[in-house]
């Protein structure tokens, strides 16, 4: 508990025209935890993620990653921070003209002078880590199934040995079996590599299976707590989210496991 | 210095130092490559002087140890990553893919030839059936106002025709100035400058204006057709149309086709006018042939059919451009890379086919004495 937060969001305000998306929100991500971010459509989950990634500059407030304020950084300083985290995007965002292996190698090639054999070795490890066979490296993203695209995207996010991983809707669009197996993968990598994971998800099963704490975006603010505490939160939207008909079904299913 | 190697009687002793992280990957490789290549009966690795090791560093070391073939002994505090790597290596992949195709052999070569021949035949069949479907749909649509999609046709006339007027005018004007200028220089040697008028007016009306306009439109609109339809294909919009029982030939292909068939002849008329204007301007500035001399001379030079010999070709060019553009757009499957490739193919092929059609027209017109 006493360890300083790896990311600390302070007083971040985001506005688009007249519409205020975040009103002075605070959020701490502790090292080694899996933090789930949930919220209704349009509540600004992706904007918050993009703010933490340094892809979007907030109208006010600061975001500190490893105690450096990324909102006031020059591009070159930001680059050094970006090297420490990996990101997967909602639809994979694999480069469609490159094979899976080339996708994984791209960031490594960009930063380091590694030989071809070392690149191949690193690619092989990344593929096996995420449960893909080595032959999948030769495929183009369009030749992969949805679950494999998510895994390949995760392999690319892990290319530079990050300590921090951002996942944007990692299980969206997957069948329940693939989604559960992806949840297992995230938990497994989190445990084995001591990763800190921040994920946006709509999937209650994922939330229950993987997350230590949950941040809920409601009314332009954030409520953060452990899953148990959040589930008993009095806010009507949060109650609806965790105790609505679909949530109950998911809950019973998880309890029954 | 990341590594210190010593040899004792029966073992190779490695002391790891510094930071083994992906940032130093080149140095790590170099250090491992500098180690003796002979297989060792025993390798002892000491981790106590190591500052930091990440997964990539651990993996490269692990691989080298595996390849050294000896019995490995780890001293000090081995990184946890080793356990993780062992764990990963013992896992079966969670997903499977089809194995890649086999190595080249005579058998494979024969299969390749066969596959490609069949693919070629199928492509020809697809093209013919595409033409057929367009024709059938066109016949059906022309019989009913609703199925003709007039607003959509109007939009395409605007986009492919009216918006192209500035660029087509400019190019027609410039090209005819260039032709008149070069022609006048040659004809002056014989004192026959006045024939510049014949040259410009016949060249512009018969060939330059229709051909150039078609080429510009192929570049502008042929690519747009392929890209628009291709993106719709990638977004599953065409499947959505079909699932609603809407005929995508009728709403996507025919309006573009008919719009261009209307727009291209009109654009060509504008190009004709701008070309003649360019010729007249150059003649008056450079050759002292005033407009009052230019017009009667032009009327003498032109046969009644000259204008029509140019215009009659343009609906055919329009058909070629629209058919190729929409056909290639509908062929887009799977990836955005396909989209770029097929858009390029659409432009290149439509320009080629336009010029090819123009050549056929030239031969036919000569034979017909048109």
**Pair B336, B228 in one domain:** yes
B350 found inside a domain: yes
Q: Is B33 exposed, middle or buried (0-12, 13-18, 19+ CB in 10 A)?
A: exposed
How far does the CA of residue B340 sit from the closest CA of chain A (Å)?
Answer: 11
How do residues A239-257 score in pLDDT, each as one tens digit?
Answer: 888 887 776 666 666 565 5
Chain A residues in contact with B336 (beta carbon < 8 A): 96-97
How do residues B265-297 score in pLDDT, each as one tens digit?
Answer: 999 999 999 999 999 999 999 888 889 999 999
d(Cα A111, Cα A156) in Å, to the nearest integer?
Answer: 14
**Pair B240, B313 in one domain:** yes
B172 backbone dihedrals φ, ψ, rounded to 5°:
-60, -45
Point out the residue among B25, B87, B336 whose CB comes nearest to the CB of A118.
B25
Which of B37, B71, B90 is where one domain is finished?
B90
Provide the domain limits for residue B52.
Answer: 3-90
Average pLDDT of chain A is 83
Evaluate whether A29 touches A6 at the Cβ level (below 8 Å). Answer: yes
Domain range annotation of chain A: 94-162
**Pair B271, B141 in one domain:** yes
Neighbours of A247 (CB within 10 A): 17
* Mean pLDDT along residues B37-53: 77
Res. B120: pLDDT tops 70 = yes
* Mean pLDDT along residues B95-123: 83
Evaluate whether A213 touches A233 at the Cβ level (below 8 Å). Answer: no
B316 found inside a domain: yes
- Residues of A near B (Cβ–Cβ under 8 Å) read 96-97, 108, 111-115, 118, 121-122, 125, 128-129, 131-133, 135-136, 138-145, 147-148, 151, 160-161, 181, 185, 192-193
How do residues A66-98 score in pLDDT, each as one tens digit?
Answer: 778 888 888 788 877 888 888 888 887 888 778
pTM for this entry = 0.69
A113–B26 C-beta distance less than 8 A:
yes
Sign of CA dihedral B313, B316, B322, B327: negative
Which of B37, B68, B90 is where one domain is finished?
B90
Res. B119: pLDDT tops 70 = yes
B102 found inside a domain: no
CATH number of the domain encompassing residue B84: 3.30.750.24
B96–A96 C-beta distance less than 8 A:
no
* Mean pLDDT along residues A162-190: 86
Q: Domains in chain B: how many in total? A: 2
**Pair B191, B310 in one domain:** yes
**Pair B234, B309 in one domain:** yes
B113 found inside a domain: no
**Pair B173, B80 in one domain:** no
- CA angle B187–B190–B195, rounded 5-degree value: 40
Size of interface A-B (CB pairs under 8 A): 87
Res. B62: pLDDT tops 60 = yes
Chain B residues in contact with A139 (beta carbon < 8 A): 97
B161 found inside a domain: yes
B97–A139 C-beta distance less than 8 A:
yes
Per-residue confidence (pLDDT) for residue B315, from 0 to 100: 96
More confident residue, A169 or A247: A169
C-alpha B106: how far from its chain's center?
Answer: 33
**Pair B16, B125 in one domain:** no
**Pair B74, B176 in one domain:** no
B49 found inside a domain: yes
């Amino acid at each position: 508990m006493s360890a300083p937060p790896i990311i600390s969001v302070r007083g971040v305000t985001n506005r688009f025209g007249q519409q205020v998306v975040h009103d002075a929100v605070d959020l701490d991500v502790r090292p080694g935890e899996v933090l789930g971010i949930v919220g209704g459509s349009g509540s600004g989950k992706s904007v918050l993620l993009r703010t933490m990634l340094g892809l979007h500059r907030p109208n006010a407030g600061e975001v500190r990653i490893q105690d450096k304020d990324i909102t006031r950084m020059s591009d070159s300083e930001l680059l050094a921070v970006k090297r420490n985290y990996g990101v997967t995007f909602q639809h994979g965002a694999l480069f469609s003209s490159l094979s899976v292996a080339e996708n994984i190698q791209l960031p490594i090639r960009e930063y380091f002078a590694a030989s071809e054999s070392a690149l191949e070795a690193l690619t092989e490890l990344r593929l096996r880590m995420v449960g893909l066979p080595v032959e999948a490296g030769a495929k183009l993203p369009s030749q992969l199934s949805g679950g494999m695209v998510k895994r390949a995207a995760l392999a690319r996010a892990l290319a530079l040995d990050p300590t921090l991983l951002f996942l944007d809707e990692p299980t969206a669009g997957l069948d329940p079996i693939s989604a559960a197996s992806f949840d297992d993968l995230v938990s497994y990598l989190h445990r084995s590599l001591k990763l800190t994971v921040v994920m946006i998800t709509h999937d209650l099963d994922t939330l229950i299976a993987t997350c230590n704490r949950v941040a809920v975006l409601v009314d332009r603010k954030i409520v953060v707590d452990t899953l148990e505490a959040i589930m008993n939160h009095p806010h009507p939207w949060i109650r609806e989210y965790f105790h609505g008909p679909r949530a109950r079904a998911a809950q019973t299913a998880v309890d029954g496991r | 210095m990341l590594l210190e190697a010593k040899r004792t009687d029966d073992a190779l002793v490695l002391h790891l130092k510094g930071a083994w992280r992906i940032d130093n990957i080149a140095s790590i490789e170099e250090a491992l490559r500098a180690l003796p290549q002979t297989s060792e009966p025993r390798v002892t690795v000491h981790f106590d002087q190591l500052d930091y090791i990440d997964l990539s560093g651990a993996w490269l070391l692990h691989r080298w140890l595996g390849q050294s073939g000896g019995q490995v002994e780890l001293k000090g505090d081995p990184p946890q990553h080793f356990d993780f790597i062992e764990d990963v290596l013992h896992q079966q992949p969670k997903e499977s893919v089809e194995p890649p195709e086999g190595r080249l052999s005579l058998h494979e070569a024969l299969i390749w030839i066969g596959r490609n021949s069949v693919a070629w035949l199928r492509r020809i069949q697809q093209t013919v059936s595409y033409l057929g479907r367009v024709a059938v749909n066109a016949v059906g649509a022309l019989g009913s106002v609703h199925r003709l999609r007039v607003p959509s046709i109007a939009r395409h006339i605007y986009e492919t025709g009216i918006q192209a007027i500035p660029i087509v005018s400019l190019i027609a004007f410039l090209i005819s100035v260039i032709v008149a200028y070069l022609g006048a220089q040659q004809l002056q040697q014989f004192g026959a400058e006045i024939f510049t008028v014949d040259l410009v007016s016949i060249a512009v009306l018969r060939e330059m204006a229709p051909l150039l306009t078609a080429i510009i439109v192929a570049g502008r609109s042929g690519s747009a057709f392929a890209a628009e339809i291709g993106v719709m294909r990638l977004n599953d919009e065409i499947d959505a149309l079909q699932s609603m029982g809407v005929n995508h030939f009728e709403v996507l292909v025919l309006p573009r086709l008919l719009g261009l068939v209307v727009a291209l002849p009109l654009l060509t008329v504008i190009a004709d006018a701008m070309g003649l204007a360019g010729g007249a301007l150059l003649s008056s500035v450079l050759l002292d042939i005033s407009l009052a001399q230019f017009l009667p001379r032009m009327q003498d030079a032109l046969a009644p059919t000259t204008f029509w010999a140019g215009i009659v070709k343009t609906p055919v060019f329009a058909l070629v451009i629209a058919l190729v553009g929409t056909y290639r757009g509908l062929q887009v499957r799977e990836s955005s890379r396909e989209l770029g490739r097929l858009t390029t193919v659409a432009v290149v092929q439509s320009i080629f086919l336009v010029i090819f059609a123009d050549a056929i027209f030239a031969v036919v017109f000569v034979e017909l004495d048109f």
